[in-house]
Amino acid sequence: MPDFRPNDLGFARWQVLEFSTPIGIEYLRVTHIFDRDVYVMKVKEALDVRHARRPIRYSLTDFKAMSERAGARWGRISMPAEFISPPPSDSRRAQQMEICWQLIEPLIDLFESSMNLSMAHFTSLIRARAEAKSFSFDSARRLLLRYYYFGGTKNALLPFHPGTKPTKGRYKSESESATSGLSAPKRRGRKSIKTQILGENEFVVSELDIADMVSSLRRQLRRARTGYLVAWRGYLATEFARRHKKLYEKYQRGEIEEPVTKRQYQYYLDQYAQLDASLAENLVTRTAESGHSGVLMASAPGDIYEIDGTGGRLHLVTKGNPPIVVDRPNIYLLIDRWSRFVVSAYISLKPPSYEELRYALLIGFTSRTRRFKAMGCNVDDDKWPVGRIPHRIVADRGSEFLSEAIEQSLTTDLRIRLTNLPPYCPDGKAIIERFIRTMKSRMVEKGMSGVYAERPMNPVAARAKKRAASAATTSLQEAYRELLAIVVEYNNRPHSTLKKYRELTQAAVEPTPQQAYLWGIKHKASKGAFPYSEDELSQIFLSADTATIAHGKVTYRDKTYFPKNNYAEVLAKESGARAKKVSIRVDKTYPHAVYVSSNRGERAEFEISASGADTLGVMTLDEEEAFEHEGKLLWAMSNHRSNLEQVGDLNGRGKVKRHRPEAINTQPNRAEIQAAREQDTEQQKMILAGRGEVDFPASKAGKEIPEWQTRKNDAEAAHVALIAKMRAKK
């Protein structure tokens, strides 16, 4: 069905009349208007111009009566893309158009007379012109009819762009190859497994079938939101059944498989269907049964968020002495599909896991001011508003997005629908993929140290990455501040997609992601909700782990927890002398309490003992893991220096002075890199939780060579200070 667009011009030359007939909707283009008669041409799809007939005569009275029928309306039909932009004057296409125009221009002047349009004169005049120019009669007739078919435009003489020719390419059997005669077209491509039962599918798609596919899709999109699967079934039941009646009857009886597969249908539509904005909005690119939703599904802020993790193309250094260059960090991002508003951004040096992902979720749904103030970031809730809990989150199949912990916190606790895309389907979250590209390009443009622009896929890019590692001076906190600056900048600059939202223009809202997000939350009905407080969200995003309960207390990582609420007292009384494993939820950044959930929704809270709190100090459980290697290293080095000093005394030698190098260690071992990554990440978590401050670099007054006894005394003094600080908080 043609792309018909009604207008208010009414009865005029080149206008198209749409009206209903017993066999369906027809379109008539007015080609000539005279005092008593009018000539019109039946118009269908663009490819149907090959079968166009000469203009038909109607009396002016009868045609006006036809145009006044119920349901009849005037309008225009969209032109093919090839005719909209004229080719350059020196191009071959322009020369072909001029040759064709010189051939038919005298005929157009002759057919401005009603007498010449009659059946007797129409063909004879074309034949005479073709013979005079030594031109093919059929070609001259087709060119003239194309001119009238597309509304009297000279560009209609341009050739269509060459495309796929379904009926040309074919395979030949051995018997066909032996003969020199022409053979019938044969279906190409793989054979379906159903061929074993239903036989081989021999149907070959023609240009008329492609036109039917396009008209079928447009017909269904005008009626309702439609996906390719539903549109394909509608095409088989309507257009295909009408054009290939006998073949369709065999298909209905189950004798053959689908003559046109769904994959074929979608392939030809992607090639030939050019949809305007109103129709494209109704096209569902992913059906609900396929496991994920298309980009066009979001209708308001909070309906669908896209989440992803990526590796930042930059090298970071630790704050130790000497500093160690660690590999690129992992960046987690959360973006709203409707407004393109970046809801959350988090950077970490730890491997991808739910423990890192939950920080990105907490940052997105809780106050920014409390988390970023200690980092020295100029970001608060006004510059970067807190996000709304979404109805659905779309993610890929990364391990952190498939874990049981995220299933529990999102799907069960928050009632957020988590949709994991099929493998190798980045276009299912194309918005966040596009922002990742923007983010990485902005890092390069901002001139961050240690940043490299391209993947090391060639020697030049590999050398650039190596140079970036040698010039790295950016710490994890500095990189996070730069990332937040990029996010705030992106949220407050105009976005080309938002310019197309007429509702924002009508409401005088700036087409920036942040303004669109805030306006949409107030004025558009979203499926998402935000019924939880920040404390409740913190409870929901707790880490899942395993502990043991016995003798009325819970033991977790060599620390003892005692009952605090009524349900915890019940569990304590029911526990026996034999240790039993229980599933707990704990905040590893602040592990002063563990929670045991029940099937009835009650949550038992166990609080750490006083001695456990003293030994814990302010160090988190994740920090304990991160500093495990560091503790072993300090012990070994202290023992080594002690032995070295005693051996030196026995030999009567002076104490050996050991100067640590100031240069950056660009080739540390794997254990050092891992320990440094985890240590920097845990320090950042402390800052985000509001329990630490950023250690900004300061100038060194002098260089000292600490002895082992001095190190021991300093470590003990620091530990006593931490214990005193914790006790002062109680």
Q: How far apart are CA 453 and CA 441, in angstroms?
A: 7
- The backbone torsions φ and ψ at residue 333, rounded to the nearest 5 degrees and listed phi first, read -130, 145
- 413: exposed, middle or buried (Cβ count in 10 Å: 0-12, 13-18, 19+): middle
Q: In this structure, which long-range contacts are made by residues 175-182, counting pairs with CB atoms below 8 Å and at least 24 apart in sequence?
A: none
Same domain for 446 and 546: no
Q: How far apart are CA 430 and CA 23, in angstroms?
A: 43
Q: How far apart are CA 108 and CA 126, in angstroms?
A: 10
Same domain for 546 and 517: no
645 and 708 Cβ atoms separated by less than 8 Å: yes
Domain of residue 93 covers 82-157
* C-alpha torsion angle, residues 52, 53, 54, 60 (rounded to 10): -100
Residue 496 in domain: yes
Same domain for 356 and 341: yes
DSSP assignment letter at 637: H
Q: What is the mean pLDDT of each run of 10 residues along the chain (730 residues)?
A: 82 88 86 90 86 89 88 86 72 84 90 86 90 89 90 83 50 43 64 79 89 90 79 89 90 87 88 81 59 54 88 74 72 92 89 81 81 75 86 85 75 75 81 88 76 71 73 74 89 87 86 91 65 62 82 87 88 88 76 75 80 57 54 60 60 47 59 81 78 56 54 72 71
pLDDT at 343: 93
438 and 490 Cβ atoms separated by less than 8 Å: yes
Residue 684 in domain: no
Tokens linked to 464:
């650039």
DSSP assignment letter at 448: -
Q: How far is CA 147 from the centre of its chain?
A: 44
114 and 32 Cβ atoms separated by less than 8 Å: yes
pLDDT at 69: 86
Alpha-helix residue ranges (DSSP H) falling in 495-543: 502-506, 513-523, 534-540
DSSP 287-356: -GGGTS--GGG--STTSEEEEEEEE-SB-EE-SSSS-BEE-PPEEEEEEETTT--EEEEEEESSPS-HHH
Domain harbouring 312, CATH code: 3.30.420.10
Task: Provide the terminal-to-terminal Cα distance of the chain, rounded to the nearest Å.
Answer: 76
Same domain for 358 and 498: yes
Residue 228 in domain: yes
pLDDT at 287: 40
Same domain for 417 and 506: yes
Q: How far apart are CA 261 and CA 268, in angstroms?
A: 11
Give the containing element (helix H, strand E) for 33. Answer: strand 24-33
Q: How many domains does the chain have?
A: 5
Residue 682 in domain: no
Strands in 448-573 per DSSP E: 543-550, 553-556, 559-563
Q: How far apart are CA 648 and CA 642, in angstroms?
A: 10
Residue 720 in domain: no
Same domain for 494 and 350: yes
120 and 53 Cβ atoms separated by less than 8 Å: no
